[in-house]
Amino acid sequence: MIPLSWYLIFAAALFCIGLFGVLSRKNAIAILMGIELMLNSVNVNLLAFWRYLNPNFVAGQVFTVIVFAVAASEVAVGLALIISIYRRRSTIVAEEINLLKY
């Protein structure tokens, strides 16, 4: 059986990739995608811990499902906003969406 630490290393790598994406990309959709990656790395963690530590309890799976639901609705709202911004300002570069800044 694959040891637990592999899953955790994988999840951490995934989280770092996601974090890198959030911090470094200019494209708002790419930033959103980075966030998704980070959320999913958490899901991997949750499932891994559930399976290896407490397989009798259903709580880990439920948590994961809730995170999926939240992530889906967040993406739905986020993309809707981005499309709306794109229609008005013809850009989705995060730095240029600065109407509320100063």
Residue 48's identity, in one-letter code, is: A
Report the candidate in 63, 76, 5, 8 with the shortest Cα–Cα distance to residue 36.
76
What residues from 79 to 98 belong to the interface with other proteins (CB under 8 A)?
Answer: 94-95
Q: Which residue has the tokens 């939240």?
A: 70
1 binds other proteins (CB under 8 A): no
Check if the beta carbon of residue 27 is closer than 8 Å to that of residue 96. no
Question: Distance between CA 44 and CA 14 in Å, rounded?
Answer: 9
Instruction: Name the DSSP letter for residue 101.
Output: -
Among 7, 8, 17, 19, binds other proteins (CB under 8 A): 19
Q: What would the x/- binding string for other proteins be over residues 21 to 50, using CB under 8 A?
A: -xxx--------------------------
Closer to other proteins by Cβ: residue 3 or 102: 102
Binding site residues, other proteins, CB under 8 A = 19, 22-24, 94-95, 101-102
